[in-house]
Copies of this chain bind each other. A is one copy, B any other.
Amino acid sequence: MIRCACYMAPDGKLLDQLNIDQVRDCLATGEGLLWLDMEDLTNEDAELLSNVFCFHPLAVADCTSKNIHPPKIDDFEQYVFIIVHGINYHIESEVVETTELALFLGKNYVVTSHDIPMRSVSSVLDRVRKDGRPMRRGADFLAHDLIDALVDNIMPTINGIDEENDRLEAEALHEPKRETLTSIMQVKRSVLALTRVTLPQREIMNGLSRGDYPFISERAQIYYRNIYDHLVRIEMLTLGLRDMAESVLSTYLSSVSNRMNEVMKVLTLIATIFIPLTFIVGIYGMNFANMPELQWTYGYFVILIVMAVIGISLAVYFKRRRWF
C-alpha cells in the first residue's frame, strides 16, 4: 500500500499523491526529490519496486517478507538499501520489541517500506506536508531525517525501562512477589533486545558518516555522525540499564532470602525456648509414686519461677548473640 508519494521539483514546488506515471517521470529526469512511503507491501507494490525502480529482487524480498531482519546496509551502486530498527509501539507486549524500516536511498529518491504504521515516518511526512522542509536539502538529508526520527523514538522507551527498574527495585526491597521476578526478567530481555539492534545500527551510521557511500554528501555526513553519537549514548544508557537490572535481581533474591531467614529465626526462637520448658513440665506430669517435689507446698510455684528464669535467660542469650 502506498501511503505517500511526494515530489519536490528543483524549483521547490511540492507535489503530493503522484501516480505511477508521474513517479516514472521523476526518476527519468533525475532531478528534484521523490519520496515514496509504502506500508504492508502487497505483491503489486513489490512489482512496482522491481519494475519502476529496478530494485534487486533480494532487496524487494526483504521488504515483503514478514520475518525479522537485523539492521544492515547493502550497496547496489545505483542505490543503497538500508534496514534500521526502532521501537514498536503497536505490539502490546511486556517485552520491548523493535520494528524495522527498510529504506532505499538513490540519487534523487528515497523509498521507505514498513509492515505497520510508524510514528517516526508519520512525523517526517507531516513536516514535509507543512512546509516541505525535510525534502529541501536532498535525498541524503531526507533519509537522515527519517532515521533520526526513528532513533529518537528509542529514548522514551529507555526512560520507561529506567522508571520500571526503579519501581521494581522498591518492590523487590519492600514487597518481593513472584511477579516481581517475572518483571525483572522481562526488563532484562527488553534491554538485551535493544542492545542487539543498537550495535549493528551504530556501525551502519559509522559507515554512512565516513563517506563510504557516494549518495551521502560531505555536508550530510556530519549529521549521520550525530545519529552515530546518539546511538553511542543509547548504548551507554542501555549498559547502565542492564547493570541496574542485574542489581535489582540481586536485591530481589537477597530480599526473598532475608524474609525467609526472618521467618526461620522466629521458628527457632519459639522452638528453642519452649522445647526445654515443655520437657520440664513433662517431667512433673509423670505418674511415679515417689516424686518428692510434687508434695512440696510451693513446688508448683518454684517450678514456674525456674521455667521463667530459663526462658528469659535463653531469650537474653539469643539477643546478646544478635540472632534476633
Contacts and interface: CB of A to CB of B under 8 A. Distances in A.
23 contacts: A56-B222, A68-B236, A69-B229, A74-B225, A178-B258, A185-B251, A188-B247, A196-B240, A262-B323, A264-B264, A266-B323, A270-B275, A270-B276, A271-B272, A274-B278, A278-B279, A284-B287, A287-B294, A288-B299, A288-B303, A289-B295, A289-B297, A290-B299
The number of chain A residues touching the other chain, given as a range, is: 35 or more
Interface in A52-79: 56, 58, 62, 67-70, 72, 74
Interface string A135-165: 0000000000000000000000000000000
Number of copies: 5
B261 A260 contact: yes
A300 B290 contact: yes
A322 interface: yes
A265 interface: yes
Contact of A289 (B72, B222, B270, B294): B294
Contact of A196 (B56, B239, B267, B284): B239
Interface in A266-324: 266-268, 270-272, 274-279, 281-291, 293-300, 303-304, 322-323
Interface string A112-151: 0000000000000000000000000000000000000000
Contacts of A262: 323
Given A58-B225, A282-B282, A286-B294, 9 more contacts: A56-B222, A74-B222, A185-B251, A192-B240, A249-B250, A264-B268, A271-B271, A274-B279, A285-B287
Contacts of A287: 284-287, 291, 294
A323 to B, nearest CB: 5
Interface of A: 56, 58, 62, 67-70, 72, 74, 173, 175, 178, 181-182, 185, 188-189, 192-193, 196, 222-223, 225-226, 229, 232-233, 236-237, 239-240, 243-244, 247, 249-251, 253-268, 270-272, 274-279, 281-291, 293-300, 303-304, 322-323
